[in-house]
């Protein structure tokens, strides 16, 4: 779990605790059972709205992490994903030497090009 | 300086970044030098030498850190100088420059095969070999050893953060060589099982120091401690006369975003360092395998002397322009 997700969880926990405290205090102040029930329903609605915001926020953070992770995977599995194996009929050692040579010559640009081609 | 279209064209391409990659740049510059001789108005051989040196200086000013280009320049100037000593005329020198420029380009291609041939002699059947990152010369040696019917096992480090080792591992496996990919930090763990270490190099200093992909030094040190032989495979065009290059290269940094995305490192308040090269002292290297033969690191200077003449012309900024003056 990343710090961003932990932070979202922590902030939401604090907000919920605060909301619950407010609800308890308000209900203690009231004597009318009808009013108490209305406040409870109101707060329940508020908590449900907050939970929706929380889930949305959390999902966004997870998606961001998954995206970053997939980008890393692209690098991790780079050779097998991006570089095709030379055909059997050719001098494969020579082809590999040439291929490696051209990739290493200008590595970052070569990777960019290979990714573009793959996508 | 007289107008010279081939030189101007390549200079323009260098400035705009249209040509990239050390080999490609060097080949284009040499081709331009070869074509430039047609436009030369030099009357005396010395004027011609000066003209060629001036063109090379212009290229080197655009790409001062390209060892290959500096070596090509050093090689051409040495050949011209020797030609003048032999009493060649300007016309003969023009032919010589064109021929030598083509020779240098050809030798760059041939060197890898020759290194493979020489290096494979040092590989024995049943050897467990460790290599760090990816190098075409190392691939050439291992492919040749396999072709000769030797059964070898190769351990390849990933070379984080760019994972270049994975490309080499894929190539080796595709060639039918038993290959194990290991994380960089595992080299010490495996060293006791290793018979030989074969490494590539970015540059070789005249004193035998190896400038290599970061981590090369650590692998060589671990091998040295385990009494495992370390072979460095590199063509002679990687020998640099610019001793300061090693120092400069050791300060060069790779893109930190390979390690951690920039936005993430900023958010966490972390400074990310990604050194590109390190320097391996000659004591940790058993042999340097070049296309001219295998020599101990201390013998590099002899090869350099043979190819580039003596004393070695340095091309570092002021030195070079002083030389021209």
Quick: pLDDT tens for B245-297.
667 677 778 888 888 888 888 888 999 999 988 999 999 999 999 999 999 99
What is the strand order of the sheet B287-290 is part of? B178-182, B153-157, B128-132, B196-200, B229-233, B287-290, B293-295
Rounded Cα distance between B214 and B218, Å, is: 8
pLDDT (mean) for A50-57: 91
Q: Does the residue B125 lie in any domain?
A: yes
Question: Three-class SS of residue B8?
Answer: helix
Note whether B149 and B98 are same-domain residues. no
Domain count, chain B: 2
pLDDT (mean) for A66-88: 72
The reply to whether residue B136 touches residue A97, judged by beta carbons under 8 angstroms, is: yes
What is chain B's mean pLDDT, rounded?
88
pLDDT at position B189:
97
Report the residue from A3, A4, A105 with minimal CB separation from B24: A105
Chain B residues closer than 8 Å to A71 by CB: 261
The model's confidence at residue A73, banded by pLDDT at 50, 70 and 90, is: low
Rounded Cα distance between B170 and B134, Å, is: 11
CA distances from B23 to B48, B68, B106, B133 (A): 26, 7, 11, 20
CA B317 centroid distance within chain = 20
Report the residue from A4, A86, A104 with minimal CB separation from B134: A104
Output the six-digit token pair for B103.
């020779």
Last residue of a domain, one of B90, B111, B132: B111
Backbone phi, psi, residue B232, to 5°: -110, 125
Per-residue pLDDT tens digits for B210-235: 999 999 999 999 999 999 999 999 98
pLDDT at position A102:
85
Report the residue from B22, B23, B147 with minimal CB separation from A93: B147
The model's confidence at residue B319, banded by pLDDT at 50, 70 and 90, is: very low
Note whether B212 and B65 are same-domain residues. no
Comparing CA positions, the residue from B92, B40, B91, B100 lying closest to residue B71 is B100
Note whether B16 and B69 are same-domain residues. yes
The model's confidence at residue B191, banded by pLDDT at 50, 70 and 90, is: very high
Note whether B274 and B294 are same-domain residues. yes
- Nearest chain A residue to B171, by CA: A96
The reply to whether residue A106 touches residue B169, judged by beta carbons under 8 angstroms, is: no
The model's confidence at residue A108, banded by pLDDT at 50, 70 and 90, is: confident
pLDDT at position A1:
56
Question: Three-class SS of residue B106?
Answer: helix
Percent of chain A with pLDDT over 90: 33
The model's confidence at residue B121, banded by pLDDT at 50, 70 and 90, is: very high
Rounded Cα distance between B264 and B262, Å, is: 5
| B134: closest CA of chain A, how far (Å) | 8
Note whether B210 and B249 are same-domain residues. yes
The reply to whether residue A68 touches residue B136, judged by beta carbons under 8 angstroms, is: no
pLDDT at position B202:
86
pLDDT (mean) for B108-112: 84
pLDDT at position B197:
98
CA B139 centroid distance within chain = 15
Letter string b/e over residues A14-47, b meaning 16 or more CB atoms within 10 A of that residue's CB: eeeeeeeeebeeeeeeeeeeeeeeebeeebeeeb
pLDDT at position B200:
93
CATH assignment at residue B90: 1.20.120.420
The model's confidence at residue B187, banded by pLDDT at 50, 70 and 90, is: very high
The reply to whether residue B22 touches residue A102, judged by beta carbons under 8 angstroms, is: no
Q: Does the residue B116 lie in any domain?
A: no
pLDDT (mean) for A58-66: 84
The reply to whether residue A86 touches residue B170, judged by beta carbons under 8 angstroms, is: no
Note whether B263 and B237 are same-domain residues. yes
Q: Does the residue B325 lie in any domain?
A: no
The reply to whether residue B175 touches residue A99, judged by beta carbons under 8 angstroms, is: no
The model's confidence at residue A18, banded by pLDDT at 50, 70 and 90, is: very high
Q: Domain of B203?
A: 121-308
Assess whether pLDDT exceeds 60 at residue A77. no
The reply to whether residue B136 touches residue A101, judged by beta carbons under 8 angstroms, is: yes
Q: How many CB pairs below 8 A link A and B?
A: 69
pLDDT at position B214:
93
Q: Does the residue B314 lie in any domain?
A: no
Comparing CA positions, the residue from B295, B305, B315 lying closest to residue B62 is B315
Using the 8-state DSSP alphabet, how is residue B186 labeled?
A: G
The reply to whether residue A97 touches residue B140, judged by beta carbons under 8 angstroms, is: yes
pLDDT at position A117:
77
Comparing CA positions, the residue from B236, B147, B151, B141 lying closest to residue B197 is B141
Note whether B92 and B188 are same-domain residues. no
Note whether B163 and B289 are same-domain residues. yes
Note whether B84 and B173 are same-domain residues. no
CB contact B322 to A (< 8 Å)? no
Percent of chain B with pLDDT over 70: 93
Note whether B93 and B141 are same-domain residues. no
Output the six-digit token pair for A76.
């991790």
CB contact B60 to A (< 8 Å)? no
Rounded Cα distance between A31 and A22, Å, is: 16
Note whether B30 and B56 are same-domain residues. yes
Comparing CA positions, the residue from B6, B14, B101 lying closest to residue B60 is B14
pLDDT (mean) for B124-140: 95
């Amino acid at each position: 779990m990343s710090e961003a997700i932990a932070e979202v969880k922590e902030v939401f926990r604090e907000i919920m605790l605060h909301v619950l405290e407010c609800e308890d205090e308000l209900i203690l102040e009231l004597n009318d059972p009808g009013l108490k029930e209305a406040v409870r329903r109101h707060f329940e609605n508020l908590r449900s709205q907050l939970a929706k915001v929380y889930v949305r926020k959390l999902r966004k953070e997870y998606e961001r992490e998954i995206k970053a992770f997939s980008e890393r995977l692209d690098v991790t599995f780079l050779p097998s994903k991006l570089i095709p194996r030379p055909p059997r009929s050719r001098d494969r050692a020579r082809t590999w030497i040439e291929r490696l040579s051209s990739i290493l010559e200008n590595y970052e640009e070569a990777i960019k090009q290979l990714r573009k081609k793959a996508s | 300086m007289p107008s010279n279209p081939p030189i101007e064209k390549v200079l323009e391409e260098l400035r705009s970044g249209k040509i990239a990659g050390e080999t490609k740049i060097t080949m284009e510059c040499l081709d331009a030098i070869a074509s430039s001789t047609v436009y030369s108005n030099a009357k005396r051989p010395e004027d011609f030498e000066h003209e060629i040196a001036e063109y090379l200086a212009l290229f080197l000013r655009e790409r001062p850190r390209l060892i290959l280009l500096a070596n090509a320049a050093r090689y051409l100037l040495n050949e011209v100088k020797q030609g003048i000593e032999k009493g060649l005329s300007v016309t003969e020198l023009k032919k010589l420059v064109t021929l030598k420029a083509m020779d240098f380009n050809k030798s760059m291609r041939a060197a890898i095969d020759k290194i493979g041939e020489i290096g494979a002699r040092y590989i024995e059947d049943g050897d467990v070999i460790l290599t760090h990152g990816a190098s075409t010369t190392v691939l050439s040696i291992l492919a040749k050893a396999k072709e000769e019917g030797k059964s070898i096992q190769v351990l390849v480090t990933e070379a984080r953060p760019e994972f270049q080792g994975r490309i080499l591992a894929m190539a080796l496996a595709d060639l039918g060589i038993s290959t194990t990919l290991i994380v960089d930090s595992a080299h010490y763990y495996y060293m006791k099982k290793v018979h030989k270490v074969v490494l590539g190099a970015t540059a070789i200093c005249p004193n035998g120091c190896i400038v290599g992909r970061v981590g090369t030094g650590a692998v060589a040190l671990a091998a040295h401690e385990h009494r495992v032989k370390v072979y460095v495979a590199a063509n002679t065009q990687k020998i640099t006369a610019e001793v300061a290059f090693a120092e400069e290269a050791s300060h060069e940094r790779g893109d930190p975003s390979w390690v951690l995305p920039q936005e993430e490192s900023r958010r966490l308040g972390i400074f990310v360092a990604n050194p590109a090269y390190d320097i391996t002292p000659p004591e940790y290297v058993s042999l340097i395998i070049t296309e001219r033969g295998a020599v101990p690191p201390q013998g590099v200077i002899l090869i350099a002397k043979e190819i580039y003449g003596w004393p070695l012309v340095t091309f570092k900024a002021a030195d070079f322009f002083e030389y021209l003056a």
